[in-house]
Amino acid sequence: MGNRPVIVAAGRTKFGEHYERQPERLIEEAWLRASEEAGLERRDLEACYLSDYFLPITNKLGLEEGFLSELTELHVPMDVVRSFSSAFFNACNAIQAGKYRLVLVGGIEKMTDRWDKIRDDLMLLEDPWSYYAGCTPEANHELMLRAYIKKYGITGENLEKLNIALAQISVKNHLNALKNEYAQYQRKITVEQVLEARKNARRPLGLYDFAPISDGATAVILAAEETAKQLTDKPVYVLGSALATDYLTYPAREDITGFLASRLAMENALKTAGISLRDIQVLELYDQSTVMEMVSLEDLGFCEGGRAWKTVFENCQDYKGYYEIDGQKLFVNMNGGLKADGNPLGATGGAQIYEVFKQLRGEAGERQVKDDKELRYGCVLELEGFGTKSYVHLLGVG
């Protein structure tokens, strides 16, 4: 990747319910944390990319570019997209093309303000077929789990272990979030609680299997390589960034036990970065449900099809803070993942990038990864819809 984009700073708010706070206060907080880290002022920015899904609905904000221009008192080019990864991807492309030297990527969402309104919109966003069939936003996750079990012939004792493995994912992510000051949920849960919630719901997945609804904001400052040298002595490079798409209608896809878009994006990102899968040490997965963390381990190539649940189950019997796969340590969702850190859609990808950025710089505090070898490479997976669009970002130092 020529003229590699460099992350020079990142900032975020705590995720959770911020009903009393205006959107501009949230994104301002995230920006200030990032700008202070890099010693930047608003006037230094050459462009801004902002992401949100529902601000026009939840907070009656139209033309968010104008909203951001008013907030920053800038008249530079600004653009709004849905996901943080989309904004990040476009900013990286602009820097590579030599168009800009310093860019702000911001993400914001205020979902709790009108939760009653956007619940239907969430399902329509994922899959119109499921929406008009009367499904809930959780329906496709359960459909995927049932298809996965059927495809790989998981029965009896193995089925029981798979169900426990999914519960262990939730427990593990809540455990990681205890060390994340920005996480929405900072409390332990147990496998028994996860299983009991499923029993009460009379469904394969229960309350503790899904990420919450959240408010929050994130910000990342990207720079061209030469500019980055003037701003930081701890650069984190965007080595590869790729996206792929799949059919909007989930049941119409050839394989509904994983996400083809994730597999394609990972392949292309690895080619661009020139690194191998085994080089990756820190991984942020888009765990809107425990099922999605499990299948994403397979989609990205870390586990063979139908075997990720075994990896999770075996590693979580005596959890040491990582998954050990073929002798390699893989640290997954160290911030608590969407499950415990929170999931304010437009800002979620920024929190994932923030986590890998901090880990690679050795600035993650109590949750800092401790590996046998120097920490050099990390990976972020963010999805739009139910695997309709997949973004993979490979970050590295040195």
DSSP E strands in 20-68: the ranges are 47-51
Closest residue by Cα to residue 371 from 335, 323, 338: 323
Mean local confidence (pLDDT), 139-149: 95
Work out the mean pLDDT of the chain and round it to a whole number. 94
- Per-residue pLDDT, 1: 53
> Residue 214 and residue 194: Cα distance in Å, rounded?
20
Closest residue by Cα to residue 19 from 94, 111, 91, 120: 111
Alpha carbon of residue 317 to chain centroid: 26
**Strand (E) or helix (H) holding 243:** strand 236-245
- Per-residue pLDDT, 48: 95
| In the block, residue with structure tokens 């993400």 | 107
Which residues 6+ apart lie within 8 Å of 105 measured at CB? 48, 49, 50, 51, 84, 87, 88, 91, 219, 220, 221, 222, 350
pLDDT in tens, 87-124: 999 999 999 999 999 999 999 999 998 877 777 778 77
For residue 198, give both structure tokens: 């499923």
Tell me the residue length of the chain. 398
Predicted TM-score (pTM) of the model is 0.96
- The DSSP secondary-structure symbol of 15 reads P
Closest residue by Cα to residue 178 from 341, 353, 352, 11: 341
Closest residue by Cα to residue 8 from 36, 50, 30, 48: 36
Superfamily for 6-115+213-231? Thiolase/Chalcone synthase (3.40.47.10)
Mean local confidence (pLDDT), 252-268: 96
Closest residue by Cα to residue 261 from 285, 249, 243: 243
Which residues 6+ apart lie within 8 Å of 200 measured at CB? 206
pLDDT in tens, 302-334: 999 999 999 999 999 989 999 999 999 999 999
| CB-CB contact of 379 with 300 (8 Å) | yes
> Residue 229 and residue 248: Cα distance in Å, rounded?
42
